[in-house]
């Protein structure tokens, strides 16, 4: 038994070494483990999270700045994390100017999965917090157009992002270029599939997810984009401003408690809707989102629409009057 397994593992490692030379896992034999295996030189740590770390690096071949996301596997009981497999698989086939480019994937020391991405200067969250949010209406419109272009592209490729929020929107400073990132919660959608995960950051989570519906689709991303839109205008998360016990209460306080008339099927979806039966009169988006031109407010209201079936799609958003003003291009 021991000999058999030992022998097999030996040949297994040989196979692994050979595979490491495939195009997605570029590597040279003999190099030191770690960053060198990924053909990058580490400059500093850009971010840390529960999953692992993000390093700012130099690409050894091109000299370009890159970002390496390193996920630790050592304590995981389930092998390679599902989030990584999905992120790579989906990004592998998403090629768009407004979606971050995945350059390489590799394993090091049998402990880490390393994802090498193109580098961008900062994310939208940092942009809003540190630079006093884009008060410039043209910048908001440009950012929104790029975000929606990327989302429309994903949806046309049958991919839901499911975790859209400012920190997952990256910005190239000099070009004012937007790129969507972090597809770890992304997944393909199909006609009859029930999704089982409750996910996404709470302030950006669509009401149908908060209602624990397991049957949702592209509309969840549009709700998140709407939250981002509002945040760019007012400088802080919309549903943080509306201070409530939970996110649903905040949503209903802003937009009004739904009824069978405004959201057909809601009483079946939310049997406990009576908890909110104090039936908020809607405060209205205009109460909080000031300084947004009327067509922008109209688009925002179509994104932050309670009934998913009536919510605007990314493709339709791009054709909205808010973007037809030629001046901003």
Q: Smaller CB distance to other proteins: residue 12 or 275? A: 12
d(CA 225, CA 162): 11
If one asks whether residue 64 binds other proteins (CB under 8 A), the answer comes out as: no
Binding of other proteins by 9 (CB under 8 A): yes
The one catalytic residue among 39, 123, 163, 182? 163
Tokens of 305: 């629409």
| Residues in region 216-255 near other proteins by CB under 8 A | 216-219
Minimum separation from the CB atom of position 239 to other proteins (A): 23
Applying CB under 8 A, which of residues 36, 88, 242, 244 lies at the interface with other proteins?
Answer: 88
Closest separation in Å from C-beta 246 to other proteins: 21
Q: Can you tell me which of 28, 135, 157, 319 binds other proteins, judged by CB under 8 A?
A: 157
Counting residues that bind other proteins (by CB under 8 A) gives: 61
Position among 45, 240, 309, 319 found at the interface with other proteins (CB under 8 A): 309
- Exactly one of 29, 174, 196, 272 binds other proteins (CB under 8 A); which one? 196
Is residue 179 within 8 Å of residue 148, measured between CB atoms?
Answer: no
Span from 62-70, 122-130, 149-157, 271-279 in contact with other proteins (CB under 8 A): 149-157
HEC assignment per residue over the chain: CHHHHHHHHHHHHHHHHHHCCCHHHCCCCCCCCHHHHHCEEEEEEEEECCCEEEEEEEECCCCCEEEEEEEECCCCCCCCCHHHHHHHHHHCCCCCCCECCEEEEEEECCCEEEEEEECCCEEHHHHHHHCCCCCCHHHHHHHHHHHHHHHHHHHHCCEECCCCCHHHEEEECCCCEEEECCCCCCEECCCCCCCCCCCCCHHHCCHHHHCCCCCCCCHHHHHHHHHHHHHHHHCCCHHHHCCCCCHHHHHHHHHCCCCCCCCCCHHHHCHHHHHHCCCCCCCCHHHHCCCCCHHHHHHHHHHCCCCHHHCCCHHHHHCCHHHCCHHHC
Does 11 bind other proteins (CB under 8 A)? Our answer is yes
Q: Is 48 in the site for other proteins (CB under 8 A)?
A: no
Q: Is 101 a residue that touches other proteins (CB under 8 A)?
A: no
- CB of 24: closest distance to other proteins in angstroms? 5
Question: What is the C-alpha to C-alpha distance for residues 149 and 71, in angstroms, rounded to an integer?
Answer: 29
Residue among 25 and 242 whose Cβ is closer to other proteins: 25
Mask for 104-143, x = binds other proteins (CB under 8 A): -x-x--x---------------------------------
Tokens of 92: 């592998």
Tell me whether residue 275 is exposed, middle or buried, using C-beta atoms within 10 angstroms of its C-beta: 0 to 12, 13 to 18, 19 or more: exposed
161 touches other proteins (CB under 8 A): no
- Interface with other proteins by CB under 8 A: which range of 73-81, 132-140, 234-242, 285-293? 73-81
Is 131 or 214 the residue whose CB approaches other proteins more closely? 214
Check if 39 is active-site. Answer: no
* Contacting positions for other proteins (CB under 8 A): 1, 4-5, 8-9, 11-13, 15-16, 19-20, 22-25, 73, 76-82, 85-86, 88-90, 92-93, 105, 107, 110, 155-158, 187-193, 195-197, 213, 215-219, 264-265, 268-269, 308-309, 313
């Amino acid at each position: 038994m021991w000999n058999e397994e030992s022998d097999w593992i030996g040949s297994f490692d040989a196979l692994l070494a050979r595979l490491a030379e495939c195009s997605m896992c570029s590597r040279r034999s003999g190099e030191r483990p770690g960053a060198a295996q990924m053909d990058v030189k580490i400059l500093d740590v850009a971010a840390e999270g529960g999953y692992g770390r993000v390093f700012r690096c130099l690409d050894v071949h091109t000299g370009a700045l890159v970002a390496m996301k390193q996920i630790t596997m050592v304590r995981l009981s389930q092998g390679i994390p599902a989030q990584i497999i999905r992120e790579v698989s989906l990004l592998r086939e998403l090629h768009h100017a407004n979606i971050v480019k995945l350059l390489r994937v590799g394993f090091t020391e049998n402990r880490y999965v390393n994802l090498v991405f193109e580098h961008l200067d900062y994310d939208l969250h940092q942009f809003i917090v540190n630079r006093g949010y884009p008060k410039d209406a043209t910048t908001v419109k440009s950012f929104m157009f790029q975000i929606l272009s990327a989302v429309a592209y994903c949806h046309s490729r049958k991919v839901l992002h499911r975790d859209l929020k400012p920190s997952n929107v990256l910005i190239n400073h000099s070009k004012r270029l937007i790129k969507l990132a972090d597809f770890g919660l992304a997944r393909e959608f199909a006609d009859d599939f029930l999704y089982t995960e409750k996910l996404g950051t709470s302030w950006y989570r669509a009401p149908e997810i908060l209602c624990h519906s397991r049957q949702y689709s592209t509309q969840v991303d549009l709700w998140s984009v709407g939250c981002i839109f509002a945040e760019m205008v007012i400088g802080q998360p919309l549903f943080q401003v509306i201070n409530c016990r939970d996110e649903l209460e905040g949503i209903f306080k802003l937009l009004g408690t739904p009824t069978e008339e405004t959201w057909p099927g809601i009483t079946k979806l939310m049997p406990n809707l009576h908890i909110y039966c104090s039936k908020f009169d809607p405060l209205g988006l205009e109460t909080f989102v000031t300084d947004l031109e009327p067509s922008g407010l109209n688009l925002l209201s179509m994104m932050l629409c309670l009934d998913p079936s009536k919510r605007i799609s990314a493709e339709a958003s791009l054709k909205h009057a808010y973007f037809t003003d030629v001046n901003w291009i």
